[in-house]
Amino acid sequence: MFKYRTPGYNGYACKYSPFYDNKLAVATAANYGLVGNGKLAILSIQDNGMITQDTEFETQDGLFDVAWSELHENQVLTCAGDGSISLFDITLQQFPIQKYQEHTREVFSVYWNMVDKSIFCSSSWDGTVKIWSPNRNQSMLTLVSQQDMSHSAEPSAAPSRKHPNSNCIYQASFSPRDPFQLVSVSSSSHCQIWDIRAPQPLQLDFVAHNGMEILSCDYNKYRPTVIATASVDKSIKIWDLRMIPPPNSPGPSPSPVNKLLGHDFAVRRVCWSPHSSDTLLSCSYDMTCRVWKDQTDENAKFTNNRLWHGHSLLKTFGMHKEFAIGCDWSLWGSGFAASVGWDEMCYVWKAV
């Protein structure tokens, strides 16, 4: 286990570089993200086990998420509480090389498309998901998540209208297989699948956690129709999108193919392993990170038998002394993971 402290700044997200095997970007916020500045720290994991800071960028508001560019090895995206998204070059000093400002409330996630590497998405508490090109100041498309406008999409030529919406979009993630498909999850407990090419982008819309807020989602890297969602109900659910009916279809609510139980409080982040189709990582307000094995019954779509959480828990990492807020798998060292929390600590540890 390696560790690094970000004094005065509480961790919100961490992300391994897709280009360098030892670089880690960490997004932080002062005063737990309630008020004050933010800081982006670029860390290097040395051969001797030490973690050192390469550079840092201070921002005017707290940072809630981070994503490395899939196009340029030295560029990193961040999103902030003031509704802004910034693109930094880690070889330059102080200021972002590009700033995007259309969201009207906190931006809670950014995600770079791994297939069509020319676009990325953001999700916000203003109830929208926006699709961006890094070379344009204005977004290419805005997906509106309000339930009474759930089939809407508006091209963006100017900052989007303020919609009276309390439906916070906590996370949106592109599919690792289909460059046009993404999943978003919200405070209204809706999980929505979008196709950004379609005239009616909303493809699937279902309540995934019985009305409880959904805080995180991720596509399985090896099974293109499988996603995971994490909620304040303390559970992680595994869904096969082939079993989800289209919006407004009659019939019973869809059921997950697996359900992972073990966290004591809300699950803040979930991410599938880049090395294994059945392994997940999660972090929670219970101050732990946990590694799970998805023992989904492959015949569940043909029968009503599902293998629930059972002994799916592989490992619990309990070094954080405050809420564990962000986690990520190493793309390079199989089995390694990083996590950050409100205890100002970043840990790199052996997950499996």
pLDDT by residue for the chain (352 residues), tens digit each? 999 999 999 999 999 999 999 999 999 999 999 999 999 999 999 988 899 999 999 999 999 999 999 999 999 999 999 999 999 999 998 899 999 999 999 999 999 999 999 999 999 999 999 999 999 999 999 999 755 343 334 444 333 333 444 689 999 999 999 999 999 999 999 999 999 999 999 999 999 999 999 999 999 999 999 999 999 999 999 999 999 988 777 777 899 999 999 999 999 999 999 999 999 999 999 999 999 999 875 554 434 444 444 579 999 999 999 999 999 999 987 789 999 999 999 999 999 9
Determine contact, residues 66/57, Cβ cutoff 8 Å.
no
Q: CA 277, 220, 308, 268 torsion: positive or negative?
A: positive
SS3 of 97, please?
coil
pTM of the model: 0.91
Range of the domain at 69: 2-350
Determine contact, residues 33/82, Cβ cutoff 8 Å.
no
Radius of gyration of the chain (CA): 19
Closest residue by Cα to residue 170 from 269, 264, 99, 262: 269
Question: Structural domain tally of the chain?
Answer: 1
Which are the contacts of 144, defined by CB distance < 8 A and separation ≥ 6? Answer: 127, 128, 150, 152, 153, 154, 163
SS3 of 82, please?
coil
Map tokens 């290097």 to a residue.
44
Report residue 3 CA to chain centroid gap. 22
Closest residue by Cα to residue 241 from 204, 208, 269: 204
Closest residue by Cα to residue 112 from 185, 61, 176: 176
The pLDDT assigned to 302 comes to 39
- Measured between alpha carbons, how far is 50 from 72 in angstroms, rounded to an integer? 26
Q: Residue 178 is part of a domain; what is its CATH number?
A: 2.130.10.10
* Residue 138: CA count within 13 A, CB half-sphere: 9
